[in-house]
Amino acid sequence: MCNLHKNAMLFILTLFISTISFSQTTNDSIFVEEANALLKAKMTEFSKFDEKLKKYEVDSLKLQYIINLYKENNYLHGESYVMNAMGVYCRNTSQYDKAVLYHKKALEKAKEASDKELHVNALNMLGVVYRRTEDIRTALDYHQEALALAETIEQRTVSVKKSIAISLNSMGNIYLALDQYDLAVQRFKKSMEIEKSVDNKLGLAINYHNIGYAKEATNDLEGALADYKESLRYNNEINSDLGRVICNYTIGRIYIKQKKYQKAVALLTTTLEMGKGLRDKFHLSGVYLNLGLVHVELNNYKLADKYLKEGLIISKQFNLRSAIAEAYEYLSKLAKKQKQFEKALEYQKQSYELNKEIRNDKNFKYVNDLIAQYDNEKYNLQIESLEKENENVKLTLKRNKSIWITSSIVLAFLAIMIYILYRQRLLNNEKKILTLEQDMLRSQMNPHFVFNSLNSIKQYIIANEQKNAVHYLNKFAKLIRKILDASRVKVVSLGDELETMDLYMSIENIRFSNGINFEIMVDNNINLDQIKIPSLVLQPFLENALWHGLSSKKGDKNIKLSVESTKKDFITISITDNGIGREAAQKIANDKFVKRKSIGIALTKSRLSNFVKDFKNNFSVYFVDLKDENENPSGTEVVLSIPLR
């Protein structure tokens, strides 16, 4: 009976192994057939690759087999797609250097194949990897290039739309890293519109989570929690363990900020076990760090130290610099709670230095607080020692001395704190002004404007119109010199501004075959040299009139710039065009994803707000939609009122 039982078990085990082996062989056979079918058909459609090969993106051996197969047969389209898939695999397993290499190879193959979809995909994937490794500038370059290329594709497939959504989302993440939350949310919402149109639930999950992060950063905790939970709902629908880990640890972070510590512990502990099973360790460090933080708040110092150091080890292993800085910051908080001020100071210094490398704008306040606390602690210990050595000194003298010393320390500490806060405010204001001026210069020195202007002048040279070429080249050189001169000063005279705008319109007019009638009207009682305004503040309004009002209009094209003194202590500047009107321009603009208009006007308003902050009155900007006698749109008027005192 015993032998019969053993034989039966052996038969079942053999049958089970045979079934698994047969199933594996069958799967491998299907995989090889699908890879060869694409090769045989010389397929070039991105969606076909995605349909047949996406299921193998978590199997590096199969991906490498396909790469070798397509390379041997010089199948550039297939090779580019699979190289990108291998790059994504490496990124998701925290092998960032390898990921960059594969994506760059994919980019080369896409260029060789002249395939714009694959080209855009490779650029976006490179941007994502560089964003992961916090190389913000390089990431932004790749995503901007991907977005510009994708928008040149007239017949946009689902994959092209997804690529545009990825570019917008990634640029939003870069704005998040730079604390530009409004700009970030704009990009996320644009990306979300596209993801909804193609029913991409993963994309929706990512965008909801990113918007939640922006709300959390601006202390809208309830709004952030709602968005994180909506992201979690989508991740549950697509059964993404990685998405669940990301959402759960950010929800746990909100609970910590809301002081719901027990809810945070329960959620993060469960999430930690789930995160340990993932190949992507990028977010696992965040789970450890948040678990450590909540135990700091609960005064569970041993557990806090354990989790924070685990998170630090993972962060260092994969060179996650922001996570390393965060780990040091939490360890500093733990040491401070334990009154280990010297250790707290050292951790905070490490966090500060790392953040300085990443963004160069870390707040000095907390570091100086720790220095003061550490010095104060040492000084108090010295006082206690002196008090023990001088026990026989009269109590009244010791009391008076203690009061005087304590008062001096408090006053000195308050003075240091006031100075630090004052200095921080000045630095933040200077940084804001510098950022605005840099954005202004980038806007005026737009590469497209420079290229198109020089290209227009080149046409005169080709047509042998030497006088026109020299005339406009002189104007272009003078305009560039004025823009560069203006970037070095905060304000210019209104006369200089009008001269610069006249030059700008002359250059832009070449591209309209000199068909724009531009006129400047100034009241006789206005002294242009005495009125000061921010440099180049009128250019965005003229650019909007040109490219949104007149570029799509047929017939006469007129722009009139008027300067009047309509009320006391104000100067009024109006720019009127006879274009197609804002409603029609908006319909044309709806299909575009990067709108220079909104950013340019927002930048101008920010610069004007900074300009008039010490003035008695505020500035105003409003738009008037002009109508003809039949109530049809006949143009737009922009009225800008600037205070003089």
CATH code of the domain covering residue 623? 3.30.565.10
Report if residue 487 sits inside a domain: yes
Name beta bridge partners: 491.
534
pLDDT band (50, 70, 90) for residue 231 = very high
Inter-residue contact 540 to 603 (CB < 8 Å): yes
Centroid of chain to Cα 53 = 31
**What is the chain's percent helix, strand, coil content, to nearest 5?**
70, 5, 20
pLDDT at 212: 93
Residue 22: pLDDT above 60? no
**H-run or E-run covering 621:** strand 620-627
Residues β-bridged to residue 534: 491
Whether the pLDDT of residue 598 is over 80: the answer is no
Rg (CA), the chain: 32
* Strands 633-643 and 620-627, bridge-based pairing: antiparallel
What size, in residues, is the chain?
Answer: 645
For 318-362, write each residue's pLDDT tens digit: 788 888 888 899 999 999 999 898 888 998 888 888 877 776 533
Residue at 258 is within a domain = no
Least confident range of 376-385, 453-462, 523-532 = 376-385
Number of domains in the chain: 1
- Write out the DSSP string of 232-301: HHHHHHTT-HHHHHHHHHHHHHHHHHTT-HHHHHHHHHHHHHHHHT-S--TTHHHHHHHHHHHHHHTT-H
Residues 123-147: pLDDT tens digits?
A: 989 988 887 777 777 887 888 888 8
**Confidence band of 101 (pLDDT split at 50, 70, 90):** very high
Assigned domain for 366 exists = no
pLDDT digits (tens, 9 = 90+) for 603-641: 778 878 888 887 888 888 989 988 888 888 889 999 999
Q: Tokens for 2? A: 């015993």
What's the half-sphere exposure (Cβ side, CA atoms, 13 Å) at 477? 6
Is 94 a residue whose pLDDT tops 90?
Answer: no
DSSP states of 448-502: HHHHHHHHHHHHHHHTT-HHHHHHHHHHHHHHHHHHHHHHT-SEEEHHHHHHHHH
Q: Does position 402 have pLDDT exceeding 90, yes or no?
A: no
With beta carbons less than 8 A apart as the criterion, state whether 197 and 165 touch.
no
Let me know if residue 225 belongs to a domain: no
Per-residue pLDDT of 174-205, as tens digits, reads 778 777 888 889 889 998 998 899 898 988 99
Residues 515-533, mean pLDDT to the nearest whole number: 90
User: Mean of the per-residue pLDDT values for the chain?
Assistant: 80
Q: Are the C-beta atoms of 39 and 69 separated by less than 8 Å?
A: yes
Report d(CA 549, CA 635) in Å as an integer.
7
Residue 462: which domain range?
A: 445-643
Which stretches of 475-619 are assigned E, i.e. beta strand? 491-493, 516-522, 532-534, 557-564, 570-577
Asked if residue 121 belongs to a domain, the reply is: no
The mean-pLDDT minimum among 56-65, 260-269, 292-301, 582-591 falls in: 582-591
Tokens of 229: 């939970």
pLDDT of residue 361: 38
pLDDT at position 573: 93
Element (H, E) at 639: strand 633-643
Sign of CA dihedral 589, 590, 596, 598: positive
Sign of CA dihedral 600, 605, 606, 612: positive
Please state, in angstroms and rounded to a whole number, the distance separating the CA atoms of residues 164 and 150: 6
Task: Report the run of H or E that residue 633 belongs to, with start and end.
Answer: strand 633-643
180 inside domain: no
What integer pLDDT is reported at residue 617 of this predicted model?
A: 84
| Cα dihedral across residues 247, 253, 254, 259: positive or negative | positive
Q: How many CB atoms lie within 10 A of CB 2?
A: 6
Rounded CA gap, 232 and 224, in Å? 12
Q: What is the pTM of this model?
A: 0.46
Q: How far apart are the first and last CA of the chain?
A: 107
Asked whether residue 54 is domain-assigned, the answer is no
Axis-axis angle for helices 181-197, 158-177 (nearest 10): 160
Say if CB 171 and CB 194 are below 8 A apart: no
Question: Smallest Cα–Cα separation from 81: which of 43, 128, 30, 41?
Answer: 43
Residues 98 and 60: their CA atoms lie apart, in Å, by: 13
- Is 426 part of any domain? no
pLDDT the model gives residue 522: 92
Q: How far apart are CA 313 and CA 307, in angstroms?
A: 10
Compute CA distances 515 → 283, 546, 635, whole Å.
57, 11, 17
Number of H helices, E strands in the chain: 25, 7
